Amino acid sequence: MKIIVLAGGLSTERDVSLTSSAGICKTLIEKGHDAFLLDVFMGLPDAPENLEDVFTLPNHGLEIAKNISTTEPDLAAVKASRPDQSDCFLGPNVIELCRLADITFLGLHGGEGENGKLQATFDLLGIRYTGPDSLGCALAMDKGVTKVIFQRCNVSTPGGGWLYKKDLDKPLSEMGLSLPVVVKPCSGGSSIGVYIVNTEEEYREALEKSFQYEDELIIEPYIKGREFACGIIDGKALPPIEIIPKTGFFDYANKYQDGGSEEICPANISEEISQKMQELTVRAFHALKLNVYSRADFLLDENDNLYCLEVNTLPGMTAASLLPKEAKAVGIEYGDLCELIIQKSLEARYQ
């Protein structure tokens, strides 16, 4: 197959996406596909005259990938480095190349790549893509909307609510909360802008920092517990994986730096809790109107209460990422997982 692996973009998870997508592209090439790695924002301004030739270029576009840094990327610098200085999310030749491909593998994380807008655009343009549909992506990306849906659909989730920038001085008591709490952007990812706060001073500082990313935040009660994730493919939940950060919680640095955390799969929990987590994963998947695949994140408190925090519609896809590790636990190797995602995406929308 001719496959464009779409990466990068303008979210705070840009670097993560480039690394994920490079791994996807390499394994698809090894599987015999004509795959090309393409940055959705930078595009390919120096494309060959015959665009079809892109799929057989010897470097496969892999030169755009780089190692993930310990801090989020400088998006202003990324914008300034685009040769045509356009603010269009879709870079030169992106649409044309995606049209030529048999399918576009979405290796984007966060922002416009995961909030349903790109999926809806591709639907209108007749471009085939991997992963969930636009509606499910839009619902899952907004943590406030997700929380309301979970509460209506009996998916256990932390309490709390959302706070807009214009309501900065709204006291916690009006949201039915008291310290300690968790502050996080409503639509962010990779734990960027997430803070656990214990004092009023820490809370005010966290609001100031998190509002730099978005104008809407989620404020939740702090729940002390173990961290887990549970992937799902084609409606079937994978074995849960436990994440044990070396320090603090599973933040950006612990997620993407070597030695930042330990992951155990299958998780060392009872069969009863494992089954319940899988059931909640499936329930959340359907409640958010998702299809193909996703990954749900959980907390398990000291009394064995489970809380679903959110669902990632385009989860990390390096060979060392959580979803591929869960798939491997049931015998699905990384390359086979990438092909399975393509197969299930084609079955969900294009057959």
Q: Give 280-310 pLDDT, tens digit per residue.
A: 999 999 999 999 999 999 999 999 999 999 9
User: How confident is residue 192, by pLDDT bands cut at 50, 70 and 90?
Assistant: confident
Q: Quote the CA–CA distance of 160 and 219 in Å, as a whole number.
A: 6
Catalytic position from the list 11, 13, 21, 210 = 13
**pTM, to two decimals:** 0.92
Which of 177, 198, 221 is a domain's end point?
A: 221
User: Is pLDDT above 70 for 105?
Assistant: yes
261 catalytic? Reply is: no
The response to whether 297 counts as a known ligand-binding position is yes
Residue with tokens 């699905």: 332
Over the stretch 238-257, which tens digit does the pLDDT of each residue have? 999 999 987 654 444 444 45
Specify the pLDDT at position 193.
77
Distance CA 18, CA 38 (A): 9
Beta strands in 198-287 (DSSP E): 216-221, 225-233, 236-237, 241-245, 261-264
Domain residues for the domain of 123 are 2-129
> Is 312 labeled as ligand-binding?
yes
Q: Which residues of 257-283 are buried (b: 16+ CB within 10 A; e: fewer)?
A: eeebbebebebebeeebbebbbebbbb
Check whether residue 72 and residue 172 sit in a common domain: no
Into how many domains does the chain fold? 3
The sign of the CA dihedral 291, 295, 297, 298 is: positive
Q: What CATH number has the domain bearing residue 172?
A: 3.30.1490.20
Q: Does the residue 41 lie in any domain?
A: yes
The region that residue 241 occupies, defined by phi over 0 for left and psi between -120 and 50 for alpha, beta otherwise, is beta
Report d(CA 327, CA 19) in Å as an integer: 19
Same domain, 22 and 120: yes
The DSSP-derived string for 288-301 is: TT--SEEEEEEEEE
Query: Is 187 in the active site?
Result: no
What value does the mean pLDDT take over residues 40-54?
Answer: 96
Of the candidates 187, 190, 191, 274, the residue annotated as catalytic is: 190
Residue 268, annotated as binding a ligand: no
**190 given a catalytic annotation:** yes
Does residue 196 form part of some domain? yes
296, two tokens:
């749900």
Same domain (yes/no): 229, 307:
yes
Mean pLDDT of the chain, nearest integer: 92
